[in-house]
Amino acid sequence: MLDQLEKIKKQAQAELKKIKENSEIEKFRLKYLGRQGELTKVLRQLKDIAEEEKPKVGQLANDLKLIIAEELKNIADRLSDQGESDQVTKVDLTLPGQQILVGSLHPNTIIQNELEDIFRSLGFMVLEGPDVESDYYNFEGLNIPADHPAREMQDTFWLTDGHALKPHTSALQVRTMEKYGAPLRAIFPGRCFRYEATDASHETTFYQLEGLMIDKDISIANLIAVMKELLRAVFGRDVKVRQRPGFFPFVEPAFELDINCMICEGKGCSVCKQSGWVEILPCGLVHPKVLEYGGLDPQVWSGFAFGLGLTRLVMMKYGIDDIRLLQSGDLRFLKQF
């Protein structure tokens, strides 16, 4: 039995020196220490040997078992350290570093996020509507019936089923009143589409931000106060504005709120069409018929609405002199933001 143990010891020591991979460690362990391993078979024979030999044989077998287990641990640690070292050496430190590509927000998105934060601080909800809208919400519910001359003002992309790509974010006014009732404070940022010739200040796809406030005894004073606070927060200073009469069927009275062109500082350029002013905030008090379409009693409730030209505001904020740059996808332009 002692000779058998010595033979196993020499054989194991020789095989331990040949282990080069982690997978070989498990194979070796099973061969000698597993349930059917060489050393395990010897230990099972202890019951068959003389009593006086059992202590010596048992001690030698246990010592051999501990030696093998310790050697396997050392080999595993060595192979682990070697693997980490190999991973380090595989990195060629002489190669140039790779540039990490980091995306950025589009200027439209930057300004929209700022506006949403401003209006949330004033207690307004931020809502979204569909890009494809029905004739009712696009026009009829806004006091623009089929035979109304105001329809001629809309260069609309019509679909074959009678729906249309929304030409203005005002399309969400009646939807919002139907769902939330009154009192109500909400803004609707979104993309708009109009079939028109493009130039430095007009594009077929652009962004607006509609605002709606419904409550009791709302007046023009409330409208002007909110508009001034909005522009002051966006530009970080007081902005020169002018208010002039306008016509929008869904508000009465209606106004055009213009800001002094910040591209040319009011001197005249292609963006302001040499006028020194940029139309940015059509607004007014909500027409009683629109309140009725929204399910509200105009004798009880009143409100104001405005349609902020979000894309034009972006142009004023960043000094962009051509609206077509914003939808161009030109990375040379977009990387500036």
Which tens digit of pLDDT belongs to each residue from 246-255? 888 888 888 8
The arithmetic mean of pLDDT across residues 75-97, rounded, is 66
Could you tell me if 191 and 241 lie in one domain?
Answer: yes
What distance separates the 2 farthest-apart alpha carbons in the chain? 119
Q: Is residue 99 part of a domain?
A: no
Q: Which domain holds residue 136?
A: 107-334
Burial (0-12, 13-18, 19+ Cβ within 10 Å), 4:
middle
Phi, psi dihedral angles at 267 (to 5 degrees): -80, -25
Could you tell me if 75 and 153 lie in one domain?
Answer: no
Beta strand ranges found along 216-276 (DSSP E): 241-245, 251-260
Could you tell me if 122 and 254 lie in one domain?
Answer: yes
Does residue 65 carry a pLDDT above 80? no
The arithmetic mean of pLDDT across residues 9-19, rounded, is 78
The Cα–Cα gap between 239 and 262 comes to: 9
The Cα–Cα gap between 220 and 144 comes to: 23
Q: Which helix (H) or strand (E) holds 132?
A: strand 132-133
Q: Is residue 188 part of a domain?
A: yes
Could you tell me if 70 and 157 lie in one domain?
Answer: no
The arithmetic mean of pLDDT across residues 53-68, rounded, is 74
Looking at residue 307, which CATH number applies to its domain?
3.30.930.10
Does residue 22 carry a pLDDT above 90? no
Give which of 153, 173, 319 is closest to 251, Cα–Cα: 173
Could you tell me if 45 and 80 lie in one domain?
Answer: yes
pLDDT tens digits, 194-213: 888 888 878 888 999 999 99
Whole-number pLDDT of residue 203:
86
Could you tell me if 230 and 283 lie in one domain?
Answer: yes
The two structure tokens encoding residue 121: 């601080």
Q: Is residue 52 part of a domain?
A: yes
Q: Is residue 97 part of a domain?
A: no
Could you tell me if 75 and 208 lie in one domain?
Answer: no
Question: Which of residues 36, 55, 89 is at a domain's end?
Answer: 89
Does residue 334 carry a pLDDT above 90? no
Mean pLDDT for the chain overall = 82
pLDDT tens digits, 284-300: 999 999 999 999 999 99
Q: Is residue 95 part of a domain?
A: no
Least confident of 17-31, 54-68, 220-234: 54-68
Cis peptide before 245 (omega within 30 of 0): no
Could you tell me if 158 and 239 lie in one domain?
Answer: yes
Does residue 239 carry a pLDDT above 80? no
Cis peptide before 183 (omega within 30 of 0): yes
Could you tell me if 308 and 205 lie in one domain?
Answer: yes
pTM above 0.85, yes or no: no
* Structural domain count, the chain: 2
Strand, helix or coil for residue 93 = coil
Does residue 47 carry a pLDDT above 70? no
Question: Which of residues 55, 89, 123 is at a domain's end?
Answer: 89
Of all residues in the chain, what percent carry a pLDDT higher than 90?
Answer: 20
Could you tell me if 210 and 75 lie in one domain?
Answer: no
Least confident of 37-41, 162-166, 248-252, 320-324: 37-41
Could you tell me if 41 and 127 lie in one domain?
Answer: no
Choose between 257 and 61: higher pLDDT.
257
Q: Label residues 101-138 b or e (16+ Cβ within 10 Å = b).
A: eeeeeebbeebbeebeebbeeeebeebebeeebbeebb
- Would the annotation count 15 as a binding residue? no
What is the residue type of 198?
A: T
Whole-number pLDDT of residue 32:
72
The arithmetic mean of pLDDT across residues 48-62, rounded, is 71
Q: Is residue 100 part of a domain?
A: no
Whole-number pLDDT of residue 41:
74
Question: Which of residues 89, 123, 152 is at a domain's end?
Answer: 89
pLDDT tens digits, 93-147: 777 777 776 677 888 998 899 889 988 988 899 999 899 999 899 899 999 888 8
Give which of 207, 233, 206 is closest to 124, Cα–Cα: 233
Q: Which pLDDT band, with edges at 50, 70 and 90, does 1 fall under?
A: low
Give which of 212, 105, 123, 217 is closest to 169, Cα–Cα: 212
The Cα–Cα gap between 20 and 79 comes to: 8
Residues 6+ apart with CB under 8 A from 125: 180, 185, 186, 187
Could you tell me if 242 and 192 lie in one domain?
Answer: yes
The Cα–Cα gap between 306 and 169 comes to: 10
Does residue 87 carry a pLDDT above 60? no
